[in-house]
Structure 1
């Protein structure tokens, strides 16, 4: 219900006005003196105030109008006078009084004027509300908002605009904002022309320049502001900064690409390891039967050496694909890094200086020492290649860091980490190069100078250890790689004794692999080591042989990837018949097994192809060691940790 305030020193007028207005549906408050009116106005809202121009004690109703305009902008004052004049009317209008009435005022006219004043008050309130809402949106929006006149000069910008683009408000108001790249000028001008012609311009994604010249990814929504006659007056720009979003999308796409290539790499490595198994196995067997003075001996040794290099390359591929079968253990990597740097220093020219700041007090991580060594060598070799023409400095630092909250930039959970930093003063990289450096076979080196696997292997090693890597670089000033590894509590590890003896004593081994050539090679290697071998080429045949004579065999060696029955499935069936049979799991690609804990417990050893005779012999002796099976099972039941890789 609209509220009306009546201020008049004549009681009969107050009474009449209250009677008329109450009957018309208004809530009416009457007072005699301006002091009382001020007190009521300070504590209550009114839609209309009807005020006598000349009040008792010489008080002027105009002063009360001024007060109302100061404290209640939505209240419409109506002045009355018993002696109206042109000069008093002019003075009244000066203060935007809604109406000026001459006494006596008839009921009909009074109610009509009050109704019109109430309508105006409501309109002002609504307008003020929407204006307040728009101002709130304008100032609180996370998007940059700019309103420019048709010549492109900024009239208004919100706080987000100054935050995103780095300008102070005074630097842009009334000026052309220099934030449109040259290549987008024509497109932008064309869109503004279309808007002025009332054509639809869809939101689009582009780039804009910040004050310091940095390009950021944005989406822009543009519209025309028009006056009441429909004439274009201004252009409204709503700009959303999507730089972080695009960066996250790039990271996601990169991760998908790396995963796809990793799957491909793992498949290639599987077949390649089987081929290497044949090559190395045959060469090793031939070398054993060859006289020391044979001219062909050196050729075979060269074949073995090349085969081992190929095996190392395959392991790099597996490391990249995050499927490398490396046993992790608690290690203090500061010692590994120092050993790696000693080896590296011996091969670097005098023009390359190595500076290191590696604390031996840094914590422990769960890692494979071989892969950590490989990571250091690859990072430092990459740094060397960027400085070999002019020389420079490779700086290696390591320290403990602790993330109190998740770091979205590197996607690491809160917790303690080791931070390894490798920086160089080489030629640096541009953004396009940095977008591809972790992709396999990508290289900026000349043909014959690199495989392009170095940094992709680094990426795979870090991911396989649950870590992360960041890169910063500037052309002409060098690059910095920061690697993060999650720390673990220091763990006391038991030293294991190396099995010196690798030869057998006619123990009977059941060997199974689906490739006939590998079966022949492995059979000869096992027989050369002093074992009796029963060989099969598929899991079902091996299971039937074992079912026929379960007590005949001392050991089962099985390939994992076989048609019909996998190696782990065969191991399960065999242990159902004889629970104490030792089992060695052999695979051409080191994949994480998806078998349950019960299946994992029955595997005594897990080794990957290609395997040489010495490695094979040591694995067999460990598997045949008395009490090995029960020891493994007890350690599992006591919560001991073991790295299971398929």
Structure 2
């Protein structure tokens, strides 16, 4: 009943009014009819219902197998036997979907359909009930709804129509008139009510329909305003409301589209920003790990947050996982406790600082580290940790020390070279003059020894200045030749083995494919002699002296020796197992006149001379030593691709008086001495005090001059420029260059331009005559 009431409530208002009024009228007439008929029908109703139920139950039992097996034929036979009874109007079997499965009735099928009222409400109710009855008094028809079940499963319904017309035949005549009148009145009232309701409630129904359209999103719907009463006013306002909603919807769609477009644009910008941020993070992380400086980031509590690959390399950390999540303040992170203690101190203080500290890699190996600290700032610029920038400056410090030493030695070399130059000019006057005086006093037994004493003293002074010049990098004016350093070392090894103590073991590890060098052989022997004697002096109780050679090719990316240009070099090592040297001695080892030996054992010029000779060949010398661990001197000399030439020279015969010589020197005393000496030998002499005069004199007496003796260092115009001017007019004109000292660069430039003959001041008469004769005969 509740379902029926709810269904009625969902009907339109007009239908509800019609139904309500019809029900009221029906109830009034029904009360009268029921009162009249109750007494007559009650007695037989019970018997009739009992009989109808029994028939229906029997049919349900018969219909169940037919439904299960879809056996319509047998079911129709059974139904036909039941409808043979005169009071059975029809029998119908419905399946589980309430569809007619089988039926039987004396009347035709269409008539049966009119008789059978398939009440959907009863069909739903019978699923849960044992049976249901429905009376149709107007047709004297009782309908029985009997469910077909098995094991609680609903399979269908047996609908039985029982005619009890014979029971009411008498009462029908009595109530027919009243029933007819009542029905007509009810229909008339219902029709009237329906018309009035439709007229009054039609605008309301339109409003309901419009509301339904709006709820579905149709804002184009409009109500027809046909009335001027309250319902017409309501319809007009409803239309205005829909128009505003339409405007709001249009604006909302525009805003939604703009919002969607902005959202997509924003999403694209977010994706782009995210991709850029990820790329920046990757680049920063790559830079962080590839930067050639160690980086360490710790929190204020000491936890290690970040560290890069260079830090692991600088500190030689074998297990880098040991640093991850380690605490600098609470546990031992680094092997060097002093180093970690300093980092802890700075972390607690949260200060910016720069300091240098030694880091022990092992018991015998240390690194000098430069550490710069910077607080890591968080919100409100508060320090939340520390950044440590750690750089290995061991090599840099060593290079600075070497550079300072090189610059100091070069400055001292320039000073020594200037002094030696002037001193050699003086000796160049004294030595030939003494030799000429000795020749003229050959018969004076008393004076000759005195002149020889002057000659010997001058020679010793010349040796001293030669050593000074070697230090000054200007002693490259000797005889240049191509030779193999291994041959020189073997000869020198045999020679020095005869003079040193037998408790010194002399060894050699020589590269058999060693490249050749081009140098003054005597100077290289001098280097070996000085280094070897120093090594012997450092091993008073015996030891090992080792000579080692090898080839070395330096390129830009591989060169660890900034003093050398890229190229091929011959490497020579002289190693001893002596007493070694302290750092203080190493810093001054190449200073002239500095010695760690006793006064009677050294002058302090040996290693200075070695340094100067090596630098004059554009080479490099390095030394490493520790007290008690011996010393190692390493020399790098430029290699040459030229092959060794076998020289079979023959003695030259001087021809005094044959040649005409132009003497060019800014020292007047030296020119006067040379003129006197060469005139004595019957040479014809021209004089010039500088290069400019020499050029002018050559241009004037070109065909009267056979050879030029040219000083290199002169005012106004030096020997290099003067020779260049002369060679422009007369290529390959014989010139002998002479100097007490000249920078190595000038010697290199002279050789590059073709100069072959050099005479070092001071020189003896025979040396001067010999080189003049060689030069002229070669030309």
TM-score, scaled relative to structure 2? 0.57
Q: Where does residue 770 of structure 2 map in the other structure?
A: 618
Q: Where does residue 269 of structure 1 map in the other structure?
A: 420
Q: 1:151 to 1:615 in 2, by over 3 A?
A: same
Q: Where does residue 97 of structure 1 map in the other structure?
A: none
Matches of 1:345 and 1:509 in 2, distance apart?
A: 48
> 1:226-279, CA deviations, whole angstroms, 9 ceiling, x for partnerless residues?
665776543232223333344444444444334333322322221111121123
CA contact (8 A) 2:546 2:575 kept: yes
Secondary structure of 1:398's partner?
strand
Matches of 2:690 and 2:624 in 1, distance apart?
A: 52
Matches of 2:638 and 2:748 in 1, distance apart?
A: 26
Q: Where does residue 163 of structure 1 map in the other structure?
A: 313
Q: Where does residue 486 of structure 1 map in the other structure?
A: 638
Q: Where does residue 61 of structure 1 map in the other structure?
A: none
Q: Where does residue 375 of structure 1 map in the other structure?
A: 527
Equivalent residue in structure 2 for 1:593, among 746, 755, 760: 746
Matches of 1:413 and 1:262 in 2, distance apart?
A: 22
CA contact (8 A) 1:406 1:414 kept: no
Q: 1:20 to 1:185 in 2, by over 3 A?
A: same
> 1:383-430, CA deviations, whole angstroms, 9 ceiling, x for partnerless residues?
12221x322221112234455765422245565443322110011233
Equivalent residue in structure 2 for 1:195, among 334, 350, 357: 350
CA contact (8 A) 2:662 2:705 kept: yes
Q: Where does residue 421 of structure 1 map in the other structure?
A: 573
Secondary structure of 2:637's partner?
strand
Q: Where does residue 323 of structure 1 map in the other structure?
A: 474
Q: Could you tell which deviates more after superposition, 251-260 or 328-337?
A: 251-260
Secondary structure of 1:347's partner?
coil
Q: Where does residue 497 of structure 2 map in the other structure?
A: 345
Q: Where does residue 25 of structure 1 map in the other structure?
A: 260
Matched, 1:212 2:362: yes
- Structure 2, unmatched stretches of 5+, are 1-215, 217-252
Secondary structure of 1:288's partner?
helix
Matches of 1:493 and 1:124 in 2, distance apart?
A: 73
Deviation at 1:142, TM superposition (A): 3.5
Equivalent residue in structure 2 for 1:222, among 355, 359, 373: 373
Deviation at 1:124, TM superposition (A): 9.7
Matched, 1:468 2:620: yes
Q: Where does residue 164 of structure 2 map in the other structure?
A: none
Matches of 2:756 and 2:254 in 1, distance apart?
A: 104
Deviation at 1:373, TM superposition (A): 1.0
Deviation at 1:330, TM superposition (A): 1.6
Matched, 1:235 2:386: yes
Secondary structure of 2:676's partner?
helix
Matches of 1:568 and 1:513 in 2, distance apart?
A: 13
Q: 1:429 to 1:599 in 2, by over 3 A?
A: closer
Secondary structure of 1:497's partner?
coil
Deviation at 1:193, TM superposition (A): 6.3
Q: Could you tell which deviates more after superposition, 217-226 or 371-380?
A: 217-226
Matches of 1:122 and 1:513 in 2, distance apart?
A: 80
Q: Where does residue 144 of structure 1 map in the other structure?
A: 294
Q: 1:574 to 1:479 in 2, by over 3 A?
A: closer
CA contact (8 A) 1:438 1:459 kept: yes
Matches of 2:371 and 2:714 in 1, distance apart?
A: 57
CA contact (8 A) 2:594 2:605 kept: yes
How do 1:381-400 and structure 2 match up within 5 A? 381-387=533-539, 389-400=540-551
Matches of 1:604 and 1:24 in 2, distance apart?
A: 91
Matches of 1:416 and 1:543 in 2, distance apart?
A: 40
CA contact (8 A) 2:347 2:385 kept: no
Deviation at 1:610, TM superposition (A): 0.8
Deviation at 1:444, TM superposition (A): 2.2
CA contact (8 A) 2:433 2:677 kept: no
Count, aligned residues: 519
Q: 1:125 to 1:294 in 2, by over 3 A?
A: same
CA contact (8 A) 1:582 1:604 kept: no
CA contact (8 A) 2:339 2:358 kept: no
Q: 1:180 to 1:277 in 2, by over 3 A?
A: same
Deviation at 1:574, TM superposition (A): 6.4
Q: Where does residue 410 of structure 1 map in the other structure?
A: 561
Matches of 2:573 and 2:470 in 1, distance apart?
A: 21
Q: Could you tell which deviates more after superposition, 553-562 or 563-572?
A: 563-572
Equivalent residue in structure 1 for 2:757, among 587, 602, 605: 605
Q: Where does residue 6 of structure 2 map in the other structure?
A: none
| Cα RMSD after superposing both structures | 4.5
CA contact (8 A) 1:166 1:212 kept: no
Deviation at 1:28, TM superposition (A): 9.8
CA contact (8 A) 2:480 2:519 kept: yes
- Structure 1, unmatched stretches of 5+, are 1-11, 13-17, 30-45, 48-117, 630-646
CA contact (8 A) 1:529 1:617 kept: no
